[in-house]
Amino acid sequence: MIDLRFSEGELDHHRDHITDFVRDRVDAAGAEGAVLGLSGGIDSTLTAYLAVDALGAENVHGLVLPATVSSGENMSDAERVAQNLEISYDVIEIEPIVDSLLAAYPEAEGDREAVGNARARVRAVLNYLVANHEERLVLGTGNRSEAAVGYFTKYGDGAVDCHPIGNLYKAQVRQLAHHVGVPEDLVTKTPTAELWDDQTDEDEMGVSYETLDSILATHVDGPLSVAATARLLEVDAETVEKIRGMYERSEHKRQVPPAPEPLD
């Protein structure tokens, strides 16, 4: 695997680059601050820390949005982040809303992926309900690694006003989080989207974040061929091709919905 971590001298530069970005986006929109979902995971935690750095704690509002599949530990961690940062936050149970969707369309009940994505989209609706009411922007918490392979819900956690950490590979997220003072247990905890029971990111993607980051950096974002990437990283060519396929199939998630080309 390759080392994608920043040098010590680069960390403050990247932190400042992101906080300037958040501040500029909020100012350009004439907004009063930012709203973001807090999951207890490293991505939302780092985003919250950087948002407070950019805007001040009084201008950041966190939402903890548990479902029946959410672990008590993660929700407790989410509240701990808000309390440590001294930001306002609300806890809103989303399962009654999901249940109402399934009552309206019971055919989807039991479809794990459809219901999991519905949970993500309910969270997006609540983020925007609060943001619109308070005249704030919604901050995304997605990183570069997950965006590249489409590991997010279209119009769910992908439905935001900006992605502050969207240019960071997962290894860089962890490194920057450690640098800005995120508690070590949150930096190293196992990532999960918690869209269904016992789900973990790496199990679902079928590859570790270390391997994913390295393939993305050398092949998808970089110049190496499948064969050269496999040799360099000492992985099977099939693994490299799998990641390439995930990137290509998820292209629609990273683009504005298309329209036909104008007629002449």
Residue 121 assigned as binding residue: yes
> Is 146 annotated in the active site?
yes
Residue 24 assigned as binding residue: no
For residue 123, list its beta bridge partners. none
Residues 209 and 191: beta-carbon distance below 8 Å: yes
Residue 37 assigned as binding residue: yes
Residue 92 assigned as binding residue: no
Identify the active-site residue in 77, 146, 157, 201. Answer: 146
> Is 43 annotated in the active site?
yes
Residue 206 assigned as binding residue: no
- Going by C-alpha positions, the residue among 210, 124, 212, 127 that lies closest to residue 175 is 210
How far is Cα 94 from Cα 165, in angstroms, rounded to an integer?
Answer: 25
Kindly list the distances between the CA atom of residue 134 and the CA atoms of 31, 60, 86, 172, in Å, as whole numbers in the listed order: 9, 11, 18, 32
Residue 198 assigned as binding residue: no
Residue 243 assigned as binding residue: no
Residue 42 assigned as binding residue: yes
Residue 242 assigned as binding residue: no
Write out the DSSP string of 14-81: HHHHHHHHHHHHHHHHT-S-EEEE--SSHHHHHHHHHHHHHH-GGGEEEEE---TTS-HHHHHHHHHH
Residue 189 assigned as binding residue: no
How far is Cα 153 from Cα 162, in angstroms, rounded to an integer?
Answer: 15
Residue 253 assigned as binding residue: yes
Residue 41 assigned as binding residue: yes
For residue 91, list its beta bridge partners. 64
Residue 154 assigned as binding residue: yes
Residues 22 and 55: beta-carbon distance below 8 Å: yes
Residue 144 assigned as binding residue: no
Identify the active-site residue in 12, 24, 27, 43. Answer: 43
88-91 sheet: strands from edge to edge: 88-91, 60-64, 34-37, 137-138
For residue 137, list its beta bridge partners. 34
How far is Cα 264 from Cα 255, in angstroms, rounded to an integer?
Answer: 24
Binding-site residue set for deamido-NAD(+): 121, 154, 161, 252-253
Binding-site residue set for Mg(2+): 43, 146
Binding-site residue set: 37-44, 121, 141, 146, 154, 161, 170, 192, 252-253
Binding-site residue set for ATP: 37-44, 141, 170, 192
Catalytic residues: 43, 146
